[in-house]
Chain A
Amino acid sequence: MSNGTADRVAKATPPRVARKIRGLSDRAIAWIFVAPTIFLLLAINIFPLIWTIKLSFTNYKANRIGREVKDIGLRNYERILTDGDIWLNMQATAHFLFWTIFFQVLIGFALAWLIHRNFKGNAFWTTVIVLPMMLSPAVVGNFWKFLYQPQIGLFNYIVGFFTGRDPSSFEMLGSVDLAPWSIVIVDTWMWTPFVMLICLAGLRSIPDYIYEAAAIDRASSLRQFFTITIPMVLPFLMLAVLFRGIENFKMFDLVVQLTGGGPGSVTELTSINLKREAFEKWRTGYASAYAIILFVTVFGLASIYVKALNKVKER
């Protein structure tokens, strides 16, 4: 009987009180542990964001320090949204986004599906395939520029070898028609492994018994593929698309090194255009408004997409 009473007393004593006796309370430790991270993010992410919003309503130019800064209301936003050139940049970005995601999903899923056959040595070859995505995009862009050289480049030589065309007859980076595809090719080479890894995680999450049950029901392997494999991997695939979408919307380093936005401005993605406005033309206020528009676009599209993703997951 007395044993039970002791238990009840022990339960009634809040553990927090007991711990306070030795060292700091859990609450204090929690805040001490979290505070530096939150502080750093506030200082280097949130404070700059608020500052950008403030600048976006002004005509500030960062290269003229003494100049009077005027509040010009929504003028910057108005000018950006009615500027035809910016819509061209948006189109270039959309083309890049759509085709990189299309090829990466297609090849990435196919590779994952093949690797999932568990052939001998698949772990090693998976690692080899993953290598490009670990590298510096700026340096990668720079050396692909070498591969794309019309006369001496390896890429042109190989294409020429297989198609019989003269390797110096086409310029991947110099021609208006080919340049948008040249950046799609490099990005696909670099990031297909990412989609592949996520698909592989998806494939490995499907329990064997589902296939076994389907086989007992005499479902053909094609049917199994469309009714089990695809629906089960879809949430993973959509997540990969989300990550790639956000990353490629922000794309800067790889393309700057490859084409610098040229020829003309056919590969001038929004980030490159933004950099020009902010750090070459020094239209700081205008560029801030531009940055806010881009951020709202990514955030808005991502939220809608996440909602759709959650619906797929619930099914």
Chain B
Amino acid sequence: MSSHSITESSSRAKWIAGSLVILYALITMLPLVWIVMTGFKSPADAISYPPKVVYEPTLEGYVNLFTTRTRQTEDYLLANPPENWADEIVRQYDMVIVGPSKFGERFMNSVIIGFGSTFLSIFLGTLAAYAFSRFRIPFADDLLFFILSTRMMPPIAVAIPIFLMYRSLGLSDTHLGMILLYTAVNISLAVWLLKGFIDEIPREYEEAALIDGYTRFQAFYKVVLPQAATGIASTAIFCLIFAWNEYAFAVLLTSATAQTAPPFIPTIIGVGGLDWPAVAAGATIFLLPVMIFTIVLRKHLLRGITFGAVRK
């Protein structure tokens, strides 16, 4: 007879399982590590063969990402000494910094549209989820299915009429238009996730509050909301990540003013082709917040991903 329990794996099995999973995790991380490393390479190091693992780190990619530069004559360069370290980096290519690039603006658009649509989806989603959870609504199941089925549409299929609609309403390429659009996409997931969280809060809490003389509104606001706070927070992260990552609508409906970072990053062009360190720097800045979020909030996130399976 073995000493361990029947369902618990032996320590050798655990050791093998652990090594295989860690091996997979390391392989999976390789592209991400590589992209972060490329952000700190010079253009020459980025395209060297064989690929360089050891190199002299430089902030060139980041400088190129945030600035626009122009080539200058030798006389001009001699007459105007570099003003700061960023300028100094650019000087080695006989260039000077003439102003900021569009990246900062695009990044801010991502922030505004991401947080705006997340706030709106959570606000509307919590109200709807509460109503579906606590009140008898006619055709509730049909309505819930309708809400979920809106996610099956390919974004490009909906994009045609939305493009026309936004054009006639003056919403194309505006922050408001994108916030409304991302809210409409996110709200189905928000309602489903939040309904699950609110279902778990015992009704007795509110009923006690109602007996104490609270109105429904107060009971919702003062009793249910604080109880659902963790659920609301993890749903919010999901909505934020979707809006942050979205590309198809952004590339079709925005151009000059409301364009977000995902359609912008791939278009960063350097001297003679794509400026890979700058692209990598942009990707790093854009992806890092999501990676940190995921690691810090993993418990809540993992539950959200599997909600559909776990509920049944």
Instruction: Please indicate which of the listed interface residues B47, B183, B245, B309 has the most CB atoms of chain A within 10 Å of its own CB.
Output: B309
Q: B135, A27: Cβ atoms under 8 Å?
A: yes
12 inter-chain pairs at a CB distance below 8 angstroms, sorted by A residue, are A23-B215, A41-B184, A47-B161, A117-B13, A126-B302, A129-B25, A132-B32, A139-B286, A205-B310, A236-B309, A252-B154, A291-B157
Instruction: Please indicate which of the listed interface residues A43, A154, A240 has the most CB atoms of chain B within 10 Å of its own CB.
Output: A154
| A-chain residues with CB within 8 Å of residue B147 when the two chains form the complex | 37, 41
Stretch at the interface among B64-72, B91-99, B120-128: B120-128
Once the chains are docked, how many angstroms separate the CA of A55 from the CA of B276?
A: 42
| A-chain residues with CB within 8 Å of residue B246 when the two chains form the complex | 136
Q: Across the A-B interface, give the 7 residue pairs with the lowest CB-CB distance, nearest first.
A: A23-B215, A119-B18, A291-B157, A48-B161, A44-B184, A138-B247, A33-B131
Given A198-B309, A298-B154; A29-B217 close (CB under 8 Å): yes
Pick the contact of A275: B48, B156, B191, B261 (CB < 8 A).
B156
Q: B14, A212: Cβ atoms under 8 Å?
A: no
Pick the contact of B283: A127, A142, A235 (CB < 8 A).
A142
Which residues 214-237 of A have a CB within 8 angstroms of B?
A: 215, 235-236
Q: B245, A136: Cβ atoms under 8 Å?
A: yes
Given A114-B17, A243-B308; A33-B127 close (CB under 8 Å): yes
Q: B266, A142: Cβ atoms under 8 Å?
A: yes
| A-chain residues with CB within 8 Å of residue B244 when the two chains form the complex | 136
Pick the contact of B156: A121, A146, A271 (CB < 8 A).
A271
B228, CB-defined interface residue at 8 Å: no
Q: A118, B14: Cβ atoms under 8 Å?
A: yes
Once the chains are docked, how many angstroms separate the CA of A129 from the CA of B21?
A: 9
Once the chains are docked, how many angstroms separate the CA of A240 from the CA of B307?
A: 11
Once the chains are docked, how many angstroms separate the CA of A151 from the CA of B49?
A: 7
| A-chain residues with CB within 8 Å of residue B47 when the two chains form the complex | 149, 151-152
B287, CB-defined interface residue at 8 Å: yes
Q: B29, A131: Cβ atoms under 8 Å?
A: yes
| A-chain residues with CB within 8 Å of residue B305 when the two chains form the complex | 130, 194, 197-198
B257, CB-defined interface residue at 8 Å: no
Q: A136, B287: Cβ atoms under 8 Å?
A: yes
Which residues 5-60 of A have a CB within 8 angstroms of B?
A: 19, 22-24, 26-27, 29-34, 36-38, 40-41, 43-49, 51-52, 55
| A-chain residues with CB within 8 Å of residue B131 when the two chains form the complex | 29-31, 33-34
Q: Interface size for chain A: under 10, 10 to 19, 20 to 34, or 35 or more residues?
A: 35 or more
Once the chains are docked, how many angstroms separate the CA of A295 from the CA of B293?
A: 34
B9, CB-defined interface residue at 8 Å: yes
Once the chains are docked, how many angstroms separate the CA of A201 from the CA of B293?
A: 22
Once the chains are docked, how many angstroms separate the CA of A52 from the CA of B156?
A: 11
Pick the contact of A127: B34, B128, B294 (CB < 8 A).
B294
Q: B20, A114: Cβ atoms under 8 Å?
A: yes
| B-chain residues with CB within 8 Å of residue A131 when the two chains form the complex | 28-29, 32, 291, 294-295
Instruction: Please indicate which of the listed interface residues A33, A211, A279 has the most CB atoms of chain B within 10 Å of its own CB.
Output: A33
B229, CB-defined interface residue at 8 Å: no
B222, CB-defined interface residue at 8 Å: no
Residue of chain A at shortest CB distance from B181? A44
Q: A119, B15: Cβ atoms under 8 Å?
A: yes
B163, CB-defined interface residue at 8 Å: yes
Q: A154, B216: Cβ atoms under 8 Å?
A: no
Given A23-B216, A132-B32; A52-B157 close (CB under 8 Å): yes
* Interface residue count on the B side (C-beta < 8 Å): 105
B241, CB-defined interface residue at 8 Å: yes
A144, CB-defined interface residue at 8 Å: yes
Contact mask A232-249 → B, CB, 8 Å, 1/0? 000110011001001001
B112, CB-defined interface residue at 8 Å: no
Which residues 1-34 of B have a CB within 8 angstroms of A?
A: 6-9, 13-15, 17-18, 20-22, 24-25, 28-32, 34
Once the chains are docked, how many angstroms separate the CA of A239 from the CA of B127?
A: 28
Q: A128, B18: Cβ atoms under 8 Å?
A: no
A259, CB-defined interface residue at 8 Å: no
Once the chains are docked, how many angstroms separate the CA of A107 from the CA of B17?
A: 14
Given A37-B124, A129-B28, A137-B245; A246-B21 close (CB under 8 Å): no
* Distance from A241 Cβ to chain B, minimum over Cβ atoms (Å): 11
B210, CB-defined interface residue at 8 Å: yes
Instruction: Please indicate which of the listed interface residues A146, A274, A279 has the most CB atoms of chain B within 10 Å of its own CB.
Output: A146
Q: A137, B21: Cβ atoms under 8 Å?
A: no
Given A26-B216, A131-B28, A197-B305; A136-B158 close (CB under 8 Å): no
A304, CB-defined interface residue at 8 Å: no
| B-chain residues with CB within 8 Å of residue A95 when the two chains form the complex | none
* Distance from B126 Cβ to chain A, minimum over Cβ atoms (Å): 9
B290, CB-defined interface residue at 8 Å: yes
B81, CB-defined interface residue at 8 Å: no
Instruction: Please indicate which of the listed interface residues A49, A134, A135, A194 has the most CB atoms of chain B within 10 Å of its own CB.
Output: A134
Q: B137, A23: Cβ atoms under 8 Å?
A: no
Contact mask A263-304 → B, CB, 8 Å, 1/0? 000000001001100110000100110011011001100100
Q: A52, B160: Cβ atoms under 8 Å?
A: yes
Q: B290, A197: Cβ atoms under 8 Å?
A: no
B84, CB-defined interface residue at 8 Å: no
Q: B309, A202: Cβ atoms under 8 Å?
A: yes
Once the chains are docked, how many angstroms separate the CA of A239 from the CA of B307?
A: 11
Given A122-B18, A249-B154; A30-B137 close (CB under 8 Å): yes
Once the chains are docked, how many angstroms separate the CA of A146 from the CA of B14?
A: 37
